[in-house]
Structure 1
Amino acid sequence: MKIKRIKGRKRAAALIGVFLIVVAGIGIITLGGVAVDNPFTVSDRSTDTPTTSESEGTTDEGATPADEENAATPPPTTVESDPKPSDDHVEDRTGVNFVPGVENFNVSTEVFDESSPDVEDGFVTPGEHRLLRFDMIIYNMGDADAELGRPENRPDLFEYSESHGHAHLKGFNNYILLDESGERTGAVRKQTFCLRDLYQTRSTASSSPQFDCEYQGISAGWADEYDASLPGQYIVIDDLPDGEYTLQATTNAAGTINETCDGDNTVRVDLSINNDTVTVHTPQSHYVRPSAC
């Protein structure tokens, strides 16, 4: 649009009119949500100081029907590149919403004896094993805390780890390795975890962690991360030939915790395995965290 120059009073009146039009066009957008009751909220909230704790997995098992659905329908992907991005931009946060991320892949050959924590917890059998290790990140991008409470109050959800001295949430994450044709290989793991607040991802979230392995959960705007070096944080690939594969990682796989959205609970990464080298083909912006529903 072209605007002609206006002199004197006519110019001032025109400018005032433009200003009023602009002001009138500005609206106020209010974002709000409806709180969702969490069935795992425990009333005897303690004042325990959060502590740093390991996270581990259980023995490899076959996948569930949910895994079949996840394998058939790839989730949406994010446009972010920061490996630990903030979720300040997310507008739809009603309730709890878990979103996974994976990174830092490596292959190692390790020997486990019968006294190893991995053997005691049933992750592997004694002997030498070839492992695909990686970090697993769980973001709570919702506006409600995922509060599970004390494991002793929910024996149906938790099992105790003798080797690590605390309880784990059963089968929370599933890891499946698919071959180049999209078929499942024998590399599968259902994994249990201690859910806790590890780092803040949203500037408006609580600045202090609320949850640890004694009183478990993940706060809104916080994330939990399980480093590749931890016991059980891997898939056993003993007999897997070198080649092209896709790692499929699903969080809250059994639907243990009610979420407002479970369509973004799975992330997939295409990678090549060659001896002890892993080459990731999927851009990091697509697999550190997929987009919210």
Structure 2
Amino acid sequence: MAKVEMNGILIGEVETKNIMTKSSLPVGGYSVNPYVGCTHACKYCYASFMKRFTGHMEEWGTFLDVKHWPKIKNPKKFAGQRIVIGSVTDGYNPQEEQFGNTRKLLEQLRGSGADILICTKSDLVVRDIDLLKELGQVTVSWSINTLDEDFKDDMDNAVSIKRRLEAMKQVYDAGIRTVCFVAPVFPGITDFEAIFERVKGQCDLFWLENLNLRGSFKKTIMDYIAEKHFDLVPLYDEIYNKHNRSYFKALEEKAKEMARKYDCLFVDNEMPYGRVPQGHPVIVDYFYHEEVRGTKNTGKRNK
């Protein structure tokens, strides 16, 4: 189809020879992105760098290309491999309801025996609970870095925190492994212990990742802090201009103490697939995640 505008979003199509891409993420395996672009338009999105590879001149968050790919003919070759769906898009963006690319992908992965991780900020994933249960080894992760809906609205166009939490509970109650991904942690704003209190009974993993500021969105976030949280300007200057790690080092210690308080495992890398006793999610320290070893799940860092 020719590019068309739908609800302020420029929608196009793109052909790709292979939907599976080897991943450089700490969790390893393959990354799969059923769309180009992401209409959640998160102000801090690291994936916005992808725009320069797409041929788009539009602002990140205002366009979406629907991918078309040859059917995955031998899904079993991915047995035991980690497949991350949504590393530089959200497979459950609002347009997925119309185009259904993510469900099509999941259907093609039936019988693969892959370890599938879905990263989202949406509640549309509940539509596919039947398929997720059939696939078996599936984890669904929701990004939630605040319980404040006003701050959330300042940062993205995704569904409300309330809807994400409700979706997480539905998926968890369906017997599917869930993650609360507290990312990015905004210094002085994100209260991860309050979030933990809210989600500890409906997630298996509780990931923590610091706010990284680089590229064009560094100015966007720093300007936002100056406008809305002026008292935090010195802290952000210390962290993001002077590269002082002490704030996040202190948060690591706080997370360790929280793990002791709630009798939870505390690790530096993700655990192999499994469920945990309700109310005791594994707390995963992804602060400065580029130092995490990656696919070996050693729980150690490159230092």
TM-score (norm 1): 0.21
Per chain length, whose mean CA-contact separation is higher, i.e. which structure has more relative contact order (CA < 8 Å, sep 6+)? 1
| Bigger proportion of residues as helix | 2
TM-score (norm 2): 0.21
Asked which structure has the greater CA Rg, the reply is: 1
| Bigger proportion of residues as strand | 1
